[in-house]
Amino acid sequence: MGQGQSDPEREVTLQNIQELYRKFASECPSGNLHLHEFKKIFGVNSSSSEEEAAYMDNVFRSFDTNQDGHIDFMEYVAAVHLVLRGRLEDKLRWSFKVYDRDGNGCLDRQEVRTIVKIIQKLKKHNDPSIKETNIEDVCDRIFELVDKNRDSQISLEEFIEGANKDPWVMDQLKLDIRPSDWFIQQQDKKT
């Protein structure tokens, strides 16, 4: 669920969204999407790493805005809208919420280390030619550039400011998985 911009020629249309509703209704006849179904959609299964499973738990939690343990259609539409058409600042706020595993409003070194590791793994999966970097070095540099008050925690404000000011930080903290392309590919599979 990346912060990158979509290819303007591959926009999601009203027809795509109507099809999304039909698919949601057929796959979730109860009107709710549960965590195990959510993980299945994104290919997270028992062979996935603990980090990937925890990351998807946090993504699910971030979309389950009323925290009732499932995603209803309105939460689903809000999530799709954010991922496909949301403003950069909204995507950064959402990303921060996902990365903040303990929900305390700050990112500590362990949370940053975990997310950098997951992002590197996903980027490598999408493009095997990407060279892996030392996670500790990346984490140290992020804190050096973003943690303005040097308290070893990154607040939401520091996170947004750092990502907006430094392209390297943005690159390290974003998931560039081309959500519009993924969404349209899922639609194309049916035809």
Q: In angstroms, rounded to a whole number, what is the distance separating the alpha carbons of residues 81 and 32?
A: 18
Q: Which residue has the tokens 């006849």?
A: 29
Q: What is the pLDDT of residues 63-84, one digit of tens each?
A: 899 999 999 988 988 887 787 7
Q: Judge whether 97 and 62 are in contact, CB under 8 Å.
A: yes
Q: In angstroms, rounded to a whole number, what is the distance separating the alpha carbons of residues 70 and 66?
A: 9
pLDDT score recorded for residue 25:
83
| Among 24, 52, 85, residue at a domain's last position | 85
Domain that holds residue 118: 87-177
Residue 169: which CATH number? 1.10.238.10
Same domain, 80 and 18: yes
The amino acid present at 138, given as its one-letter code, is V
Same domain, 59 and 116: no
pLDDT score recorded for residue 189:
55
Residues in the chain with pLDDT values less than 70:
1-12, 125-126, 174-191
pLDDT score recorded for residue 129:
86
In percent, the amount of the chain with pLDDT more than 90 equals: 27
pLDDT score recorded for residue 180:
45
Q: What is the CA radius of gyration of the chain?
A: 17
